[in-house]
Amino acid sequence: MSVIGSGEFARLRDIRATQPELVSAALAARKRRPLLRGDQRLFFVAADHPARGALSVGGDRMAMADRYVLLERLVIALSHPGVDGVLGTPDIIDDLALLGALEDKIVVGSMNRGGLQGSGFELDDRYTAYDVPTMTERGIDFGKALVRIDLDDPATAGTLAATAEAVTAASAAGTPIMLEPFMSRRRDGRVVNDLTPDAVIRSISIASALGADSAFTWLKLPVVDEMERVMASTTMPALLLGGDAGDDPDERFASWENALGLPGVRGLTVGRTLLYPEDGDVWGAVDAAARLVHPAFSIETSTEDLGVHTLKERA
């Protein structure tokens, strides 16, 4: 089912070509909300993968290549009352703002996307997307940075230094910033993350100390074995990240549910596994995850009730 009218994408393209100033106007005029409210938990959908050239989902190498399909799926997810916001790069966030899909949602700006998937410079993860001044100007609520630490790759030092600067700038601006740390290494030419509990704890210890002020630092962490011990390694608020699309869905949801009950865990940030579920039911996948994060919610909306999002023309 399409939730975006047939002419909306044409108007989106026209606005980008002829009235680009409407992008910042749409972001400035959108209805904003407090970061935490109600049950003090957060559920974000993530769509910053394409900026790294990471378009695959499961066995489909180009699953995320069609931007119109991706936007449709994001609009469905964001229409769910249990979804608190979206994590994305400027290109995606700008499209969603023009589509009117960000009203009363938290917008998380993805910052470092320079470490392209499969490249020789993948660990030289430069800040090529959002920066703190632009997030402040555009009303972006939250920042996010990936922190992959490879002790054998000298490029890691530059990534750590740049991330420390981003954390310091975000704290000075009063903007929360979410760090996603991993101990990483190259294996057969590919960068892989070490998901053993000890490695995750070590990555948390390193990332937590980045920047001159930790007051606004959050963590985005994988669900691994011994999560009680992992969460005992930090006092910072944490959001869980989703597993790979190939994982067993029942096991994945069970692991999320167990980890969501741990001290310090504030919610969930998931992308491809919910936007591109095996059965194609985006609403169903998002609804199931939303009920884990916000179990007290009474959710009665269905896809038939969503209606059509229209482009917001801003003066």
Q: What are the pLDDT digits (tens) for 49-61?
A: 999 999 999 889 9
Region 286-309 average pLDDT: 69
b (16+ CB within 10 A) / e for 100-115:
bbbeebbbbbbbbbbb
What domains lie within the chain, and their CATH numbers? 8-305 (3.20.20.70)
Per-residue pLDDT at 58: 87
Give yes or no for a contact between 305 and 297, defined as CB atoms under 8 angstroms apart: no
Whether residue 1 is predicted with pLDDT greater than 50 in this model: the reply is no
| Mean pLDDT of all residues belonging to the chain | 92
Query: What's the whole-model pTM score?
Result: 0.93
Length of the chain: 315
E strand or H helix at 228: helix 227-231
Q: Which SS3 state, helix, strand or coil, does residue 52 take?
A: helix
- The band of 298, judged by pLDDT with boundaries at 50, 70 and 90, is low
Per-residue pLDDT at 86: 98
